[in-house]
């Protein structure tokens, strides 16, 4: 993975930069010693590491503004960081950058039930947003797997999804407003507790911009009343084609489950060995969950079971109570951990049209043989968001590179069938150099033009998202 | 000008020597664009529809009615319920899917399922230099690069000429019913709507029509579920009044079509304002608005006002935005933005349309 050469001028001015930052921050909010900054050398894409020049941990929007203004004046690159759980390298530092972490900004600013929103500082974790309102019967819908640790700031930067977004949408559909600080230190409110933009939908383009347009310090989030209940069913099939058809038939029957999860045989086997959830060993397993009152759930599940039966399942299991529901979800929720027990793995997240599922799974199986690397598939089947887990051995020379090449081939396949490189993890550095596969030059130029407006000096997280050759003229300017 | 395809359009834009006024069906003349008419009527047709994947792709000039008929045949729909502006604005012609997207047009169900922008999966457009650009795609989860799809949606043609749009569609419902509360004042009505929206019963419409003295809540889904929730919801709003249940599907649908299209104002003279605010702020703002007629939708978050002159000045310093949908009030059509936001918006328009030829005078 190539990263730009650090700016020697910035490195040589480290002392002055740190001194100016020290003047606007409490002593415990600034780190510049390598012993301390090393903790910030990577995010959850741990294969790539680089200690930053300095780390700042501001507590207020004013401090964020002051830091950015100094970095802007001194030409210092800034990499914003939420909780550092990015799987795409979104928070990977460069040696000449200041890491701006929002981890200390965790306050709930306002909770409003009549209007159903919560306003928080963005260092707050995803799950603790729900935690702040669940006693009153509400929840925050986007639920990425890392929700215990990941920050709202990172969710906004990556437009994070989750298992339940088929019904509730992803971050952008649940974000009402932000306080944004641009690279020159300007603070502005965009959106608010009301709905839809009056002018251009800046909120829409900020969400998912991977920390390249500004630092979001506060967010107004939509909260929803908790459903009366939810219950899953589990079904196993002899082929992924049939499982795909079941998904299509459920959707065409007019049912909108909150989640439809898919696992293939390698993933089921690994999960069974690890979590012993009692899954059937078969080619394709589906978990379908619906919500509502007990009677409504019964009615929806009756329809779903009828569709499931018509396709000759090898197993069909309806949760009768919370305990059985927990067992059905147990394997799915331990799938990544189970694969990790076997080996090191790389998790991809390309999206495909649901209709292309059988073809894509067959091709991934063939490529797995060609590359000699195992792969298991976990899949948000309702929305086509795949999670192929490629197994490799990090201690074996060349295996990581082989795994990355295999992963790139899978992502090219996703684009080829009409899908995209990333459904919810973001581009970061991981998919950066594949952007040409999905986008023509004019498409990338249009996106980079947005960054030109928000961050004309290309100082914010500039080595991410866009292929380095595409962004080079701008980063050099 | 009526280009036949994307290349045609790109050439026309590149060669244009003056402002262009971009036209879909011409049914939503909101804002004050000037310039030579550029019609998308020659670029129409549904290019892809996969009911099992809940995905539809259509060229920008495709009549909305054609899309809706095609979806209805598969028992699906555009869940954000786009409003038809013709009665309110006194226009004729056929709304197009491109016009709907350019104006981010939604309806009552927006409060629960999201706006047009929330259902947008992809766009193709031609920028002000004549470049053909694509963004997003046809899949439901996509965070690959910046989301220009949302930026284009609701940009009223000021950033580019949409040529093709890709949307998420949803299953249609078996039936619907409306709970009606009579005779509530505005503040009590908004409180009742908030209580309903905070229940787990999946209300998909929450409106208040003061003139008719009616506060309305819509439920949709399978018949047994709607019946169950109607009863449960009546209990939730019981502190505000006794609800009657209109469970005739067609009659309930007609009620919501009238809210969606603000037919209460159709044929009445004067300016029409569309106010988007925090729902609980709405009654107090309406009290200051000096309006001749008012309709509340989105549980109070959207207020339609028949009110002449400078509504914004009368409302004072409020949070939200007021758009002048119809009439002349000698004030900007779109809500003025704060200085830093206006600078970013102007910067984006200058990047996407460097010569300023798309719908000049429309926004900002």
Residues in A closer than 8 angstroms to B353, CB to CB, are none
CB spacing of A137 vs B198 below 8 angstroms = yes
Q: What's the CA gap between A459 and A97, in Å, rounded? A: 9
Minimal Cβ distance to A419: which of B133, B137, B276: B137
pTM (two decimals): 0.97
**Does residue B146 share a domain with residue B11?**
yes
* pLDDT for the residue numbered B364: 57
d(CA A172, CA A159): 6
Closest-approach residue (CA) in chain A for B50: A355
Q: Does any domain span residue B363?
A: no
Q: pLDDT (tens digit, 9 = 90+) per residue, A158-181?
A: 999 988 888 899 999 999 999 999
Residues B239 and B331 in one domain: no
Closest CB to A115: pick one of B75, B278, B302: B278
The rounded distance, in Å, linking the Cα atoms of B364 and B350 is 12
Contacts of B132 in chain A (CB under 8 A): 442
Q: Is the pLDDT of residue A477 over 80?
A: no
Q: Say if the Cβ atoms of A450 and B191 lie within 8 Å.
A: no
B336 occurs within a structural domain? yes
Instruction: Mention every residue, 6+ apart, whose C-beta is less than 8 A from residue A88.
Output: A45, A158, A422, A425, A426, A427, A428, A429, A430, A431
Contacts of A138 in chain B (CB under 8 A): 198
Helix (H) or strand (E) holding B59: strand B55-59
CB A235 within 8 A of CB A207: no
In this structure, the answer to whether residues B216 and B269 fall within a common structural domain is no
- What domains does chain A contain, in order, with CATH numbers? 8-101 (3.30.43.10), 108-225 (3.30.465.10), 230-335 (3.30.70.3450), 343-416 (3.30.70.2740), 441-477 (no CATH)
Q: Which of A116, A198, A255 sits opposite B321 (nearest CB)?
A: A198
Cα radius of gyration rounded to whole Å, chain B: 21
Mark yes or no for CB contact A201/B114 under 8 Å. Answer: no
- In this structure, are B165 and B63 located in the same domain? yes
Nearest CA to A29 out of A65, A55, A62 is that of A55
From B171, B204, B235, the end of a domain falls on: B171
Q: Give yes or no: residues B224 and B346 share one domain.
A: no
Nearest CA in chain A to B157: A200
**CA proximity to A140, closest of A224, A205, A216:** A224
Let me know whether B50 and B150 are in one domain.
Answer: yes
Let me know if residue B74 belongs to a domain. Answer: yes
Nearest C-alpha of chain B: how many angstroms from A252? 6
Alpha-carbon torsion, ordered B90, B92, B94, B98, to 10 deg? -50
CATH code at position B236: 3.30.70.2190
Q: Indicate yes or no: CB of A431 within 8 angstroms of CB of B149.
A: no
**ipTM > 0.85, yes or no:** yes
A254 with B154: Cβ contact below 8 A? no
Alpha helices in B211-310 (DSSP H): 223-236, 249-260, 282-289
- The residue from B236, B260, B284 where one domain ends is B260
Q: How confident is the model at residue A337 (pLDDT cuts 50, 70, 90)?
A: confident
Residue B11 lies in a domain: yes
- B193 and B73 both lie in a single domain: no
User: Counting one residue from A and one from B, how many pairs have CB atoms under 8 Å apart?
Assistant: 270
Closest to A403 in 3D by CA, of A414, A412, A393, A411:
A393
Contacts of A218 (CB under 8 A, 6+ apart): A61, A109, A119, A120, A121, A122, A178, A179
pLDDT tens sequence across A226-280: 999 999 999 999 998 899 899 989 988 888 899 999 999 989 998 888 888 899 9
For residue B115, is it within any domain?
yes
The boundaries of the domain holding residue B23 are 6-171
Query: Does residue B364 form part of some domain?
Result: no
Does the beta-carbon distance from B131 to A446 stay under 8 Å?
yes
Question: Is the residue at B187 inside a domain?
Answer: yes
Residues B213 and B331 in one domain: no
User: Domain boundary residue among B240, B260, B280?
Assistant: B260
pLDDT tens digits for range A285-306: 999 999 998 888 999 999 999 9
Average pLDDT on A48-58 reads 97
For chain B, 364 residues long, the average pLDDT of each consecutive 10-residue run is 97 96 93 91 97 95 98 97 97 97 98 97 98 97 97 97 98 96 98 98 98 97 95 98 97 98 95 98 98 98 97 96 93 95 98 96 73
- Domain co-membership, B194 together with B304: no
* One domain for residues B139 and B183: no
pLDDT at A277: 86
User: For A113-170, how does the pLDDT look when each residue is reduced to its tens digit (9 = 90+)?
Assistant: 999 999 999 999 999 999 999 999 999 999 998 899 999 999 999 999 988 888 899 9
Question: Which of A120, A109, A132, A110 is CA-nearest to residue A82?
Answer: A120
CB contact under 8 A, B110 and A195: yes
B133 neighbourhood in chain A, CB within 8 Å: 442-443, 446
Residues B197 and B328 in one domain: no
**Residues near A410 by Cβ (< 8 Å), separated by ≥ 6?**
A348, A350, A364, A367, A388, A390
Which of A389, A393, A414 is closest to A344 using CA atoms?
Answer: A393
Q: How far is A13 from chain B (nearest CA, A)?
A: 31
DSSP assignment string, A330-379: HHHHTHHHHHHHHSEEEE---B--GGGHHHHHHHHHHHHHHHT--EEEEE
Q: Count of domains in chain B?
A: 3
Q: The domain spanning residue B101 has which CATH number? A: 3.30.465.10
Name the residue in chain B with its Cα closest to that of A160.
Answer: B143
Distance, in angstroms, between B147 CA and closest chain A CA? 5
Q: Do residues B254 and B346 both lie within one domain?
A: no
């Amino acid at each position: 993975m190539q990263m730009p050469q650090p700016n020697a001028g910035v490195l040589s001015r480290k002392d002055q930069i740190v001194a100016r930052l020290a003047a606007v921050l409490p002593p415990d909010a600034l780190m510049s010693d390598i012993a301390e900054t090393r903790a910030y050398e990577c995010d959850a894409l741990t294969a790539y590491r680089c200690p930053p020049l300095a780390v700042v941990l501001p507590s207020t929007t004013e401090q964020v503004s002051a830091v950015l203004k100094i970095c802007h004046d001194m030409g210092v690159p800034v990499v914003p960081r939420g909780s550092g759980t990015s799987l795409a390298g979104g928070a990977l530092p460069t040696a000449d950058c200041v890491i701006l972490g929002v981890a200390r900004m965790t306050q709930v600013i306002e909770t409003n039930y009549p209007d159903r929103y919560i306003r928080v500082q963005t260092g707050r974790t995803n799950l603790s947003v729900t935690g702040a309102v669940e006693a009153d019967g509400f929840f925050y819908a986007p639920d990425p797997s890392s929700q215990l640790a990941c920050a709202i700031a990172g969710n906004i930067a990556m437009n994070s999804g989750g298992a339940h977004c088929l019904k509730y949408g992803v971050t952008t559909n649940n974000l009402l407003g932000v306080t944004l600080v641009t690279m020159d230190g300007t603070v502005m409110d965009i959106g608010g507790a009301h709905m839809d933009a009056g002018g251009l939908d800046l909120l829409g383009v900020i969400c998912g911009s991977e920390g390249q347009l500004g630092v979001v310090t506060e967010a107004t989030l939509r909260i929803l009343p908790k459903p009366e209940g939810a219950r899953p069913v589990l079904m196993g099939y002899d082929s992924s084609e049939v499982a795909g058809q079941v998904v299509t038939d459920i959707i065409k029957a007019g049912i909108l489950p909150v989640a439809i999860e898919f696992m293939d045989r390698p993933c089921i086997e690994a999960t069974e060995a690890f979590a012993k959830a009692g899954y059937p060993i078969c080619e394709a397993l589906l978990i379908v969950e619906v919500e509502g009152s007990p009677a409504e759930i019964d009615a929806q599940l009756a329809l779903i079971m009828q569709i499931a039966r018509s396709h000759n399942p090898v197993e069909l299991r309806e949760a009768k109570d919370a305990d059985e529901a927990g067992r059905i979800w147990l394997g799915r929720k331990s799938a990544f951990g189970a694969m990790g027990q076997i080996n090191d793995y790389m998790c991809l997240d390309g999206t495909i049209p649901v209709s292309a599922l059988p073809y894509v799974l067959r091709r991934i199986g063939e490529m797995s043989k060609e590359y000699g690397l195992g792969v298991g598939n976990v899949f948000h089947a309702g929305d086509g968001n795949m999670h192929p887990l490629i197994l490799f051995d990090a201690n074996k020379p060349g295996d990581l590179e082989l795994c990355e090449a295999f992963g790139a081939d899978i992502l090219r396949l996703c684009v080829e069938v009409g899908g995209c490189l990333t459904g919810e993890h973001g581009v970061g550095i991981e998919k950066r150099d594949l952007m040409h596969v999905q986008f023509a030059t004019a498409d990338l130029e249009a996106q980079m033009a947005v960054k030109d407006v928000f961050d004309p000096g290309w100082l914010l997280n500039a080595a991410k998202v866009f292929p380095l050759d595409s962004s080079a003229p701008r980063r050099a300017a | 000008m009526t280009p036949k395809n994307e290349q045609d359009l790109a050439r026309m834009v590149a060669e244009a020597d003056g402002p262009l006024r971009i036209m879909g069906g011409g049914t939503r003349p909101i804002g004050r664009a000037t310039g030579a008419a550029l019609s998308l009527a020659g670029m129409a047709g549904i290019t892809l529809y996969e009911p099992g994947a809940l995905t539809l792709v259509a060229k920008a000039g495709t009549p909305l009615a054609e899309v809706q008929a095609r979806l209805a045949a598969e028992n699906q729909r555009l869940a954000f319920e786009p409003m038809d502006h013709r009665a309110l604005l006194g226009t004729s012609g056929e709304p197009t899917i491109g016009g709907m997207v350019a104006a981010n047009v939604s309806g009552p169900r927006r409060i629960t399922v999201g706006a047009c922008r929330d259902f947008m999966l992809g766009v193709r457009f031609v920028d002000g230099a004549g470049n053909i650009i694509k963004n997003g795609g046809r899949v439901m989860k996509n965070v690959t690069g910046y989301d220009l799809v949302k930026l284009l949606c609701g940009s009223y043609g000021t950033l580019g000429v949409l040529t093709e749009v890709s949307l998420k569609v949803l299953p249609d419902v078996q039936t619907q019913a409306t709970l009606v509360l009579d005779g509530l004042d505005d503040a009590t009505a908004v409180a009742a709507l908030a209580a309903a929206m905070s229940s787990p019963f999946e209300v998909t419409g929450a409106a208040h029509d003061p003139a008719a003295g009616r506060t309305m809540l819509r439920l949709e889904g399978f018949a047994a579920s709607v019946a169950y929730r109607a009863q449960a919801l009546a209990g939730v709003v019981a502190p505000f009044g006794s609800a009657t249940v209109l469970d005739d599907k067609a009659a309930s649908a007609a009620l919501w079509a009238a809210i969606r299209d603000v037919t209460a104002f159709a044929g009445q003279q004067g300016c029409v304002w569309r106010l988007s605010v925090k729902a609980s702020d709405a009654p107090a703002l309406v009290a200051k608005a000096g309006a001749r007629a008012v309709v509340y939708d989105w549980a109070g978050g959207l207020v339609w006002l028949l009110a002449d002159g400078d509504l914004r000045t009368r409302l004072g310093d409020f949070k939200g935005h007021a758009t002048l949908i119809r009439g002349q009030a000698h004030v900007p059509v779109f809500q003025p933005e704060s200085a830093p936001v206006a600078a970013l918006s102007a910067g984006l328009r200058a990047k996407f349309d460097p010569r300023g030829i798309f719908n000049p005078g429309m926004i900002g």
